[in-house]
Structure 1
């Protein structure tokens, strides 16, 4: 429920005091010893003391003349009022129970010219059922899912071509936007934006979970275009380890992956993704002398999957070695664990696990993902 007015907030005063004293709210899970982040909503000790004193005094309303003017919100959006809203053309029927295969819906943009996107935000049609969602940018020359239907939902198993069934989860297309519970919209600094070539399609990849109530979903995204062509293009990269095997009962199981940047890039933000057994996640730079610099360490919370935006974007030179480490709790002491007796491997469903360290970087505007991964005279797989 919203806590915008005094009348809405007063009944929750004691709960608010408890949550802020325990530093559970506002939600923020980064270890304060590492990094500084522009979107850190953490309260200062003075602010926590002020809230605690207000509650202890009976949570009085105060003088209405001292109240700030009511904030005006763009209806339904946290970004500026979108220039364009793109919705999945057809709704998806979600059953009350059982597992739901990844569902796709391809939407033609009909862009007649290249466009630069500075802000974007997901609006799930049924937030209670959307485990996570990704929108990919499919350029007009991409062969990915070319025989799949346009404008209607489908899954990999409904595709006739076995090769396309396998390719559904495997693409080198750039990501426009990723959504998970608690995630925030993308808002890039002036002079930076994501690129959508003329004639591209947007491919919605939806992961639904059931909760005992049937529903339908017709997710959309809001888009704000850059006012002028930017100097830098934002691309989303990732470090992931598909080979994870988490033993039954393991309470602090470690998985890592490393990668080396082939070209200079400016690091903008970090977004870790795991499932219900996720415990901690860390991004590091491993220097040539083998010393380790921690960029981000979070105590992972599945229901608050946040993006951590650097307070000062950081230039990373070609050859920088990045490392992501994830720890998992597959024990009975993890209250979110669906089955501590199970050996857990990579998989799409929430009862499986993932280890993905998304990170956003800015590169020259004329460089796409394929050019970024060219080094030593030859391309490297992203």
Structure 2
């Protein structure tokens, strides 16, 4: 898998993308942008789809300087506390800490020192950390971008023997990059070591679990961190708040197979009514912090339903996923909702290297946009969400080099106002050519679907709270 190659060779170079353009074959009349198609081989694509959570630290270099930290002490020597510490805190430590999704910690001098050469090699190759969104679209919070000047400091530190320096030299990074959220207020635990059991000859098991919260009053979710028990088999995860009126339906679903915890839920959680989506996880997603005085409502006495998509291609071991929730009883100033927008009218013929799908919807009411979570599968090459009104276009997110292993929730520095009457556009591009198949199989016609080898064109919009 990718992270193994990185640690072993520390010089994996990401596949380049070529520019091409394609007329919109969709039905919405959206004007497509230039596409950028991956040239990744099948092996790296397969690794990305199943074992890439650790890839969430891939480092980009950019001339856009994001740090105001001093490089050195009074002697001119680059030290850990004087320069390296803040670079790692801003770009790496969200994943690389003890218990995080990175394969090793980088959150202290003792942890970072032996990894200095690996860090430098990963930065130089462009492998660490991942920041897929285009810098031309959306002012996102806490971007992971290592500048050429910062790379020079990392190289100088390694060449000098990784001096520690004095803690008094340390200046915190300009962007708040909290690594650990502290002790959670509530842990969502699926409650068992579940062994995925795909139906028939499938490799995909969509399984749902219900966890009662017994909250006596409404709570508000301010942050969460998903901790998959078996990263090799967890393809992605969604979770919702469900009201007490669904207790009978949940019991009915659980009784379908009394020998197995939870229930099969391919295509949706199968609960009749949900009160709100709370969050999502996919490979590459680190802890999600909605921000100061912001949160998603969890109504009193809710049951939390977790849907996990297991893919058994690379693992036949059990999983016990947990989600750490950080909650407040105080109603935040800004209450949020997660709103999914899928393009299900999706068709990519076998062999098509420049497939395209698009959809649009006009908003009858205005809202405020706080962040996005784009999602495709393994054949995706680009995804873009935008809004148009009165001849003016606003870009919400553009990921020109899609990689299944680098998915995340992207939150804006400041929310974006979306006026009533705005048309929301979602565009997705795909490479279904023989050289881009995830496991080396022959290309087949691709449509929207829940399976690992199907495709999706989906974006979750984090917006002002919707009424339940």
| CA distance in 1 between partners of 2:234 and 2:163 (Å) | 40
> Is contact 1:6–1:61 with CA below 8 Å preserved after alignment?
no
Q: 1:277 to 1:54 in 2, by over 3 A?
A: same
> Is contact 1:239–1:358 with CA below 8 Å preserved after alignment?
yes
| CA distance in 1 between partners of 2:378 and 2:140 (Å) | 25
2:254 maps to 1:149: yes
Partner of residue 293, structure 1: 394
Partner of residue 120, structure 1: 224
- TM-score, scaled relative to structure 2: 0.68
2:123 maps to 1:24: no
| CA distance in 1 between partners of 2:243 and 2:281 (Å) | 21
| CA distance in 1 between partners of 2:413 and 2:299 (Å) | 30
Residues paired across the two proteins, number: 350
Partner of residue 136, structure 2: 33
> Is contact 1:338–1:351 with CA below 8 Å preserved after alignment?
no
> Is contact 1:277–1:337 with CA below 8 Å preserved after alignment?
no
RMSD: 2.9
| CA distance in 2 between partners of 1:206 and 1:17 (Å) | 36
Residue 183 of structure 1, aligned match among 275, 285, 292? 285
Partner of residue 379, structure 2: 277
Corresponding residue SS for 1:217: coil
Partner of residue 253, structure 1: 355
Q: 1:63 to 1:19 in 2, by over 3 A?
A: closer
| CA distance in 2 between partners of 1:140 and 1:196 (Å) | 12
Corresponding residue SS for 1:17: helix
Q: What per-residue deviation string (whole Å, max 9, x for no partner) do you get for residues 320-369 of structure 1? A: 21111111111133263653521111222211111111110124xxx515
2:189 maps to 1:87: yes
Partner of residue 210, structure 2: 106
> Is contact 2:109–2:164 with CA below 8 Å preserved after alignment?
no
> Is contact 1:39–1:308 with CA below 8 Å preserved after alignment?
no
| CA distance in 1 between partners of 2:132 and 2:440 (Å) | 23
Q: What per-residue deviation string (whole Å, max 9, x for no partner) do you get for residues 272-325 of structure 1? A: 111110111111111222x43222211211011122111111121222211111
> Is contact 1:286–1:321 with CA below 8 Å preserved after alignment?
yes
Corresponding residue SS for 2:150: helix
Q: 1:249 to 1:324 in 2, by over 3 A?
A: same
Q: 1:81 to 1:3 in 2, by over 3 A?
A: closer
> Is contact 2:234–2:309 with CA below 8 Å preserved after alignment?
yes
| CA distance in 2 between partners of 1:331 and 1:170 (Å) | 40
Partner of residue 61, structure 1: 162
Can you give the 5+ residue segments of structure 1 that lack an aligned partner in the other structure?
72-76, 158-164, 370-382
| CA distance in 2 between partners of 1:51 and 1:169 (Å) | 51
Residue 131 of structure 1, aligned match among 220, 232, 235? 235
| CA distance in 1 between partners of 2:117 and 2:161 (Å) | 13
| CA distance in 2 between partners of 1:239 and 1:144 (Å) | 29
Q: Please state how far the C-alpha of 1:17 moved relative to its aligned partner.
A: 2.6
- TM-score, scaled relative to structure 1: 0.82
2:332 maps to 1:223: no
Q: 1:278 to 1:99 in 2, by over 3 A?
A: same
Residue 467 of structure 2, aligned match among 353, 368, 378? 368
Residue 434 of structure 2, aligned match among 332, 336, 349? 332
Corresponding residue SS for 1:48: helix
Corresponding residue SS for 1:46: helix
Partner of residue 378, structure 1: none
Normalized per residue, the structure richer in strand is: 1
Q: 1:191 to 1:64 in 2, by over 3 A?
A: closer
Partner of residue 460, structure 2: 358
Q: 1:169 to 1:18 in 2, by over 3 A?
A: farther
Q: What per-residue deviation string (whole Å, max 9, x for no partner) do you get for residues 176-196 of structure 1? A: 110101112232223321111
